[in-house]
Structure 1
Amino acid sequence: METQTKITQKTRRAVVTSKRGDKSITVQIDYLVKHPKYGKYIRRRTKLGVHDPNNQAGVGDIVDIAECRPISKMISWRLVNIVKKAVIE
């Protein structure tokens, strides 16, 4: 009997920081890490390249992203949906 293993994709919520190329955006994920010795929480951030096939996300939007196959050298995440659009005044 064959056993099927389900591969779970990593999903993250991030903020769009840059929209320079065609069909690609850069997002930033902020998180807290506890210092091993002192116990203080330190703010860290990660920048990721994300594939946006329809060019629908803009700078400042909050988006959901999911891991996928490598699309280019720096892009291995894809846009799932836009949670909240940025308010431009």
Structure 2
Amino acid sequence: MNKQNNQNKKRKIEGIVVSDKMNKTVVVDVWRFKKHPLYHKILKVSKHFKAHDENNEAKIGDKVIIEETRPLSKDKRWKVIKIVKKNQGEKIDEEIKSEEEMLTDEKIESDVIIENQ
């Protein structure tokens, strides 16, 4: 019963992936609001967590849920549980690249036509 209680006590937090350059590891940026003790101003505070991503599924800009786990390395104590929302920026980048390729192809074709005349 004690093990079951410990599993339920694992913290889960939501954040945004800011780096996926390491193998099976992502860096997640978690934001929270904190009230200043003296001035009572609400501050937005962020913290980076390294999390284990077994299948390298999470990419930069994805919104993920990470869960506390046993230490996996010197810095990793979290693992990615779920990708809540995929980053849409990659699709936009691909569309822009395809448009640029089309424009360069048209330019090459127009250059060939001009040379043939």
Task: Tell me by how many angstroms 1:38 deviates.
Answer: 1.0
Q: Decide which structure has greater strand share.
A: 1
Cα shift readout 1:12-60 (whole Å, capped 9, x = no counterpart): 0010000111100000001110011111101100100000000000000
Matched residues in 1 for 2:64 and 2:51: separation? Answer: 10
CA distance in 2, matches of 1:38, 1:64: 32
Gaps of 5+ in 1: none
Q: Distance in 1 between the 2:84 and 2:12 partners?
A: 13
Larger radius of gyration: 2
SS in 2 for 1:29: strand
Question: Which residue is equivalent to 1:46?
Answer: 47
Instruction: Give me the CA root mean square deviation.
Output: 0.7
For 2:77, what is the secondary structure of its paired residue? strand
Aligned residue runs from structure 1 range 52-71, under 5 A = 52-71=53-72
TM-score, normalized by length of structure 1?
0.93
Output the CA distance in 2 between the equivalents of 1:38 and 1:71.
Answer: 39
CA–CA distance in structure 2, aligned partners of residues 63 and 50 of structure 1: 10
Matches within 5 A, 1:1-89: 4-5=1-2, 6-7=5-6, 8-88=9-89, 89=92
Q: Which runs of 5+ in 2 are unaligned?
A: 93-117
TM-score normalised to the size of structure 2? 0.72
Q: Whole-Å Cα distance in 1 between the matches of residues 23 and 71 of structure 2?
A: 17
Question: Percentage identity across aligned positions?
Answer: 33
Runs of 4 or more above 2 Å deviation: none
Structure of greater relative contact order (alpha carbons < 8 Å, 6+ residues apart): 1
Q: Hey, which of these two has a bigger chunk of helix by percent? A: 2
